[in-house]
Chains A and B, each alone.
Chain A
Amino acid sequence: MKREEELIEEALQGNHIAFEQLLHPYRNGVLNMVYRMTGNPEDAKEICQDALIKIYRYLRSFKKGRSFKNWVYKTVVNTARDFLKKQKKFDLLMEQQKNAADCETVNPEKHYLDAEIRENIQNCLQWLTPTERAVFCLRDGEGLSIKETASVLGCSSMGIRVHLSRARNKLRLQLGKIYPFKKNEVKK
């Protein structure tokens, strides 16, 4: 497996295969992160497409020695934020998602369970601010470290901890409404 610097050099010379190999490790991670932020798989793919165009266009401005992974995630997060600003309506996305789920007919039981899970997650995530949602998706969804998350979002590590703490607190409260935790049932 070639190193990232070599792949970047080849991609800058017009080698599309090198560009594909460069982004291959991050393809599903960024897709799922955007999916969590938008709640719609089709919008997530569209945002990833736009982000890939930007990544390829500005590949030359990427400074050697820095983390390529953080740069990719940063570009994707900023593209998602711009998209959400234009969209503005998270409730509208929830409705579209519901309609899309109703159209699926492959396996009714699986479809019902999947839809319930998706709805539960989105019900919880909609109570988070955009920054809290991004922090939660990066840290708990994709497993990025605090430093990496701070680098992607342009915040300090302390700021990330604050947003993460608030996000988990809100999720805990929302989960308590969906599945009330009975004190005696919670094990150590």
Chain B
Amino acid sequence: MNCRKVRRLLPLMPGDELPESKQAAITSHLEKCPGCRQEYAIYMASNQAVKTWLDKDRIEWNDFEWQRVVRTACRESAPEKRKPGFWPLKKSWSYASLVGVVVVLCLIIFWPQFTRKPPGAAPGAATGTKTQLLESKTLQPSQEIVAVELVSRKTGVKIHWFLNKNFNMEEIE
């Protein structure tokens, strides 16, 4: 420990606020350094002087005064009664219940979106109109079709399907 560190910690030496290891290190430094030792003595003296003054300048309640103060305190206030809360449970249980209710509500609202089935065939292509696949091919089951364009011979209506699942294609004559 150098003098700078020791002098920074000296104010805490009089009251034993430092851990034992630091106290030991400071004590060993003080044995070697007369300047720090002098400074430590001044801190001890000043702390003792202030404590002596504080002990001399103490005030006390006399018994009559104290009784009067206590009677006044009891008369002017009543112990606060526990107010009936909105929630009959303890505070921590109230928060836990609230979180549980919020989670259940979120599940009710958002669960159908996760379990929704993919959309079926478009109505125009399925109802009575004969359609023919343009450039239809016999595909392997492992292949994935991204998009299909259907054109009605009768009406010329074009239907674009964007798909993400495999399906078997048949030619319609």
Contact = CB atoms under 8 A, between A and B. Distances in A.
Interface stretch (B59-67, B127-135, B151-159, B165-173): B59-67
Given A56-B79, A175-B49, A188-B41, A32 B59 contact: yes
A175 B46 contact: yes
Contacts of B74: 16, 19, 56
A49 B71 CA distance: 10
Given A23-B70, A172-B43, A140 B54 contact: yes
B73 interface: yes
B111 interface: no
A12 interface: yes
Contact of A187 (B11, B17, B41, B81): B41
A44 interface: yes
Contact of B43 (A57, A118, A168, A183): A168
Given A52-B70, A57-B77, A188-B41, A32 B11 contact: no
A65 to B, nearest CB: 16
Contacts of B14: 168
Given A12-B79, A27-B61, A188-B37, A168 B47 contact: yes
Given A140-B47, A186-B41, A59 B79 contact: yes
Contacts of B8: 165
Nearest to B60: A28
A90 to B, nearest CB: 17
A55 B73 contact: yes
Contacts, number: 127
A130 interface: no
A140 B43 contact: no
B45 interface: yes
A169 to B, nearest CB: 5
B53 to A, nearest CB: 5
B54 A120 contact: no
Interface in B62-93: 65-67, 69-74, 76-82
Contacts of A166: 11
A28 B61 contact: yes
A111 interface: no
A141 to B, nearest CB: 5
Contact of A27 (B12, B17, B66, B81): B66
Contacts of B37: 188
Given A16-B70, A52-B70, A172-B43, A57 B78 contact: yes
Interface string B22-41: 00000000000000011001
A161 B47 CA distance: 15
23 contacts: A16-B74, A23-B70, A27-B66, A28-B58, A31-B59, A35-B59, A36-B54, A45-B69, A49-B69, A49-B73, A52-B72, A56-B73, A57-B78, A58-B79, A60-B79, A117-B53, A146-B17, A164-B12, A168-B47, A172-B46, A181-B45, A186-B42, A186-B45
Interface of A: 11-12, 14, 16, 19-20, 23, 27-28, 31-32, 35-36, 41, 44-45, 48-49, 52-61, 114, 117-118, 120-121, 124, 139-141, 146, 161, 164-166, 168-169, 171-172, 175-176, 179, 181, 183, 186-188
